């Protein structure tokens, strides 16, 4: 089965270490809430703000979950220290979805997918299926892996430690204008490669219609 998705808007942000221009103070005026945000949550909030739509069903993908918080928990346990309640609360993979719901006051459908290197593909496939039920969908993919001692486990040569993409899409019967070729981006985690290629091809189309066919 094939479902075609039209891209209505899209955004991307990245940095070799930590992204610094996420506009957190404007997006989350509440200082106490802002201080609790994880890196993935900050990226998801920024991308949603860039898209400009807060009240649509949303699918968020992150391949590695909240590794910064998980590392802090493990470090505290190893050192015999008390585990931070905030780190414990934020260690689950759907943390960005919860903050997106709180900040955006989105009471609709929001879910998180974590499928390692297949995460981006899974977000697109689930987005295609959900487009049968919803008029528009926001698809977000983010990964933040700039945690302490990352060099000890980074065997893939990844140099871009934070990256996020977002696409506002809807189902369409129009012919596809975008075909993913499996292009590789060695500086990035393989989990985000399909979204990077999708963003690249969408940008190349300029003002033309941006439509991708998803096989289910």
Q: Tens of pLDDT along 28-37?
A: 999 999 999 9
Give the distance, in angstroms, between the CA of residue 166 and the centroid of all CA atoms in the same chain.
7
Query: The domain at 2-215 falls in which architecture?
Result: 3-Layer(aba) Sandwich (3.40)
Q: What is the pLDDT of residue 99?
A: 93
Give the pTM: 0.93
Q: Where are the domains of the chain?
A: 2-215
Taken in order 189, 192, 194, 196, is the CA torsion positive or negative?
negative
84 is written with which tokens? Answer: 């931070």
CA angle centred on 180, ends 7 and 157, rounded to 5°: 110
The confidence band for 157, taking pLDDT boundaries of 50, 70 and 90, is confident
Q: What is the pLDDT of residues 86-110, one digit of tens each?
A: 888 888 888 999 999 999 988 889 9
Span 171-185, average pLDDT: 96
């Amino acid at each position: 089965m094939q479902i075609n998705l039209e891209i209505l808007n899209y955004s991307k942000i990245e940095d070799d270490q930590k992204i610094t221009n996420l506009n957190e103070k404007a997006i989350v005026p509440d200082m106490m809430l802002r201080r609790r945000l994880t890196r993935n949550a900050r990226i998801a909030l920024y991308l949603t703000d860039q898209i400009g739509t807060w009240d649509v069903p949303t699918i968020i993908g992150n391949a590695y979950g909240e590794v910064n918080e998980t590392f802090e928990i493990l470090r505290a346990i190893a050192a015999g220290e008390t585990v931070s309640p905030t780190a414990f609360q934020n260690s689950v993979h759907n943390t960005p979805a919860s903050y997106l719901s709180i900040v955006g006051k989105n009471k609709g459908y929001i879910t998180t997918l974590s499928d390692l290197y297949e995460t981006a593909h899974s977000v697109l496939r689930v987005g295609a299926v959900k487009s049968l039920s919803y008029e528009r969908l926001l698809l977000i993919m983010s990964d933040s892996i700039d945690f302490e001692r990352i060099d000890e486990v980074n065997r893939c040569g990844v140099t871009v430690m934070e990256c996020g993409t977002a696409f506002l899409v809807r189902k369409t019967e129009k012919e596809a204008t975008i075909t993913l070729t499996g292009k590789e981006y060695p500086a990035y985690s393989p989990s985000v490669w399909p979204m990077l290629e999708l963003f690249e091809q969408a940008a190349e189309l300029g003002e033309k219609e941006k439509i991708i066919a998803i096989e289910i």
